Structure 1
Amino acid sequence: MNLSQREHIANVVASVEQATTAQVLNPQGSDAVQASWLRCVNHHGLDPSRLQEARILPAGQLREHRQQLEELRFVAQPGLDKLYQQIAPAGYILLLADAQGVAVDYLGDVNAEISLRRAGLFLGAQWSEALSGTCAVGTALATRQAITIHQTDHFDATHIPLTCSAVPLFDSQGDLQAVLDISALTSPQPRTSQHLVMQLAQQQAQKIENAWLLHRHRHDWVLKLSRNPAWHDIEPEFLLAFDAHGRLTGLNPAARHWLKAHPQPLGLPLSALFPGPMEQLLYTPQLEDISGQQRFYAQTIHPVRPTPATGVTLSPKLAALSGGDPQLDQQLRRATRLLDSSLHVLVQGETGSGKEYFARAFHQASPRCKGPFVAVNCAAIPASLLESELFGHLPGSFSGAGSKARRGLIQAAEGGTLFLDEIGDMPLEMQTRLLRVLSEQEVTPIGARQPQKVDIRVLSASHHPLAQRVADGLFREDLLYRLQGACVHLPPLRERKDINWLIEQMLAGRAQLSDRARQALVNYRWPGNLRELNHALQYALAMCESGVIEWDDLPDTLCFVAPFQPPASDDQHEALLRQLRTVHWNISAAARQLGISRMTLYRRLQRLGIQLPERQ
């Protein structure tokens, strides 16, 4: 025990004794910290002079905690990744802890893992107040409030080098689900140095809570409300979910605070908040509350049709691939039944239909696959290199092999999933070697004499009908039987009924669609499927200028391909002609009056078939 730790213990003891005697909290410290110190002694029976090492759960217990929070972890992951990119350069790590204070997700510097694990800033660490004393995660759980526990705020002297800022995460019912924590092994001494860190944590926590509500209530109506017209779609203040009968089923924490006059807001009818019938309110861009004192800018998210009850509960990671398309839902239910099996799975679908997305989600959802996900595009690797890439080689086993052994991708997938994309394009000689891997569960690197055991699950995919490839002599029939222990067919985009949901997922709130643009997207045949849709939306986002994607912001392929081109009305044609004549065909002046750029106006002229008069 060093001098600073002994001084800290003495300070804790003195503060607790003073607060107990005077029945008031120590004015020298934060009220929340002093109250936590009292709880540590009086309720948790902790001894400030007893230093405790970090408690890390064993793998089996950690797995149980992670599985219980799997759906929230899946929804939160993009936000956690983005937040970590912001804080990592300053030496911070990121923890997501469950309601018991167990760190179920962790993002940190791999080069500092030994120090971080020793300090408890690691996956599986237990940070409840009852075990670890005053700490950011545990005290946030105890108080249900965001808090920074900085250096000597910690109860246990072991933790005084640390600084930690934690924000509790609540679900749409108001229940505390998890805690988002940003911590560092060292930091400047002033507590104010952590203010920006806390702001970042709170901002990301709010986004995760909103994303969690939208995910859990995707089968309900959701109102996005804001008092600022520029932000009601991108960063709404309030989210309120309603069922088909117009009764409140969920709300985000900001909305719960807004409705604090209602102790039990869940179940309230929409008419108790806003005047008017539900059918009108859900399609109104501006709303006034029942008192008439507050005005909100509103957007309504329509419910996704729920998957019919079949006795199978979809894995959250697989369910996230569908917005309610019947064909896809049927395939996902079939896939869910296969998660615990040892069968290899063949995924078939057109190019761009999402085969690799499905394979990754299947791997992440499968409790059997603890190892990595390794993807190989059999059509992209030259035949001369494919054998070495897949099977690996010993030093000097062939010309250009080099002086070091190289492990192949099959061995790299040990304990996990090997995804063989475009398996139909694999050369026949490679098919023979792959068949042995599947039948014997062993691989022989090039130049090796003894095979090596491997434990992998193979997911393969092809846009070719493999039965036809077999008939044409291009694919081994016995390999096909091995690969298709089970088969999943992904429908093409033109057959999917959830295209509007897909569009909103890809736009992610960055822009809205005009009715005409949406109709063009829905009516197009999408030969490139999801990949083409994503590219089209990225192009439209680059072209649009007002936050609303118009028809002429879409790629030309969507607007000129018959019979799916939405016809331009005579009124639009004549209205634009009148506008141009008013400004004597001055393109710059017309664009300014229309509030668009000159390039957008030129595209609109082209698509409406309007020719500019020749200059004299």
Structure 2
Amino acid sequence: MTDQALKEQNHTEVVENSWDRCRSFGLDHNSTPTLIQLGTGERRDLKEEHRYLVRTTDTEVLPFYENILSNSKCMILLADSRGQVLNGWGDQRFVAPQQKSFFQEGSSWDERFNGTNAIGTAIASGQAVQIQRDEHFLKANRFMIGSAAPIYDTNRDLLGVLDISSDAYLPQAHTLGMVKLMSQSIENRLIMKTFSSEHFMLTFNTNLDNIDSQWSGLIVFTEEGTIISANRRAELLLGYDLALADVSQIFNCPLRELKNHPELLPLKLQTPNRHNMHAVIKRPAEKPIQAVDYRKQRSVSAETFGEITLDRIGYGDERVARCVRQAERLIEKDIPILIHGETGVGKEVFVKALHQRSSRRPHALVAVNCAAIPSELVESELFGYEKGAFTGASTKGAIGLIRKAHKGTLFLDEIGEMPLKAQARLLRVLQERKVTPLGSTESYPVNIKLVSATNRCLRAQVQEGGFRQDLYYRVSGLNLELPPLRERSDRRTLFQQVHRMHREPHQQAELSDEILNLFEQHPWPGNIRQLISVLQIALAMADDEPVESWHLPDDFFHDIREQTSWEGSDPEPAVASAAPGSADNESLLAETLVEYNRLEGNISRTAKRLGISRNTLYKRLRELGVR
């Protein structure tokens, strides 16, 4: 059964369960909705109780979704955890005069009084729902469609519900997707407001490009590493309850390493089940901050990679050279290219270089990460929509990403994540070379060079029913596979080149043989993207000095230990050591403790002072019972 079928089955169960509850409340389909409305004083107290929720929604979230408010035939309602309306925005013209009171502040949408409805059913089920006209239990409510998503507070208790209601006969899946994003955005902002001044905040996602989206995981942890709050996306990405968990165990990363990482500089983390995550850390407001502008870092990286030509993609590796030669032959041909490779091998860099080599370079290269767009919004983002195509659609419509790539290159990254419904529309575009926006009968011709990429086995997805076979043969004209960094024969030269790209003008020292040897031992599960992250951290730590082993992050050595443990080798640089319990060992421990205390617990400076790696320092501190 496909993911979409499972979603539909779950939705059916949600509606059926709601109808069963309605019958148990003594309602039938012909029952009259009951208007339960608070008095003036009670309404004032209710809004005061939820003033932060109302203010955050009104001033910090809705302005980013003004397209919804510009649609005069829909209303946005914010309700509390009991279904009582806190505030409303938009226009009530789609509501009959006798029904307007139900949409005013203080009115209740509890299922007991109004049967199955978006707000009440979202509260009862604890999940986002869309209630179509005939899915309302009471016939009197079947004039509208509602899309609602619950909002949870910082303790993961239900705080309220956000709803978009309309009577439009329009596709509504996109509206549900927007409500989910809006509710997640509200939750994130409430968490930030509550904890940012006193605690550490970790934002993470599966892809480096998605870290700063509202669809990222967000974790708040204390000075001691205890997780005290997390958004729903964080638990979805990690797969379990995070309440009071230890953040260093969640990500297999020492707490001090997390806390001392330069603020807003991306870092790679790994979960205990070896799933890679990309993250940024934000310190409490009163903590001294080693600030690194994350957006500036990304911009610099993008500019650097944008200048890389096909000639500079490889430095002697035959597999990379073969990919370059084959791609060059097909640059001007109407044959799609499908790039395979692990996350972080440089697929987008390759595509940018390919676009710059082609005759299409005066036109746009439009890169779309199919995994970064909520499934309900993929179609409207890719194919565009006419004004009023769905509830909340912009009154100006949207051209869509495919038409933006007209005469240029369309790069569909993580194409295996594209929902089946969107796959069907994409197939039609590739067959007809025309795009029909949502809600339109007019088609627009498009001339694009299609390049796709995946880190999955699309053939296996075809067999499992997760990817259309006909689309697979449309996108896989030429299949290229970029090798992982650990398998590249030119990686030593690549290490040096990436180091030169990212160092500051005053950092002229080249990487030493010691560092290059360590790099060659490393398995690089995150590939070139991980290499860049490691070098950025090392260069930030080194400042004006040459990069040394103690400048490297601890998870770098953790990866090497896992890689070489079966050989019984020690990946760390040779350091002074002594047998546990010996006089020499006691002397080393005593010296370590003195320096550690003298330097006020600064791991990097202590390690440098003692001439050892940070990993060795951590081991000594554990022996001393300090950590």
Same fold (TM over 0.5): no
TM-score by length of 2: 0.44
TM-score by length of 1: 0.45
Instruction: Specify which structure has the bigger relative contact order, considering alpha-carbon pairs within 8 angstroms and separated by 6 or more residues.
Output: 2
Pair member with larger Rg: 1
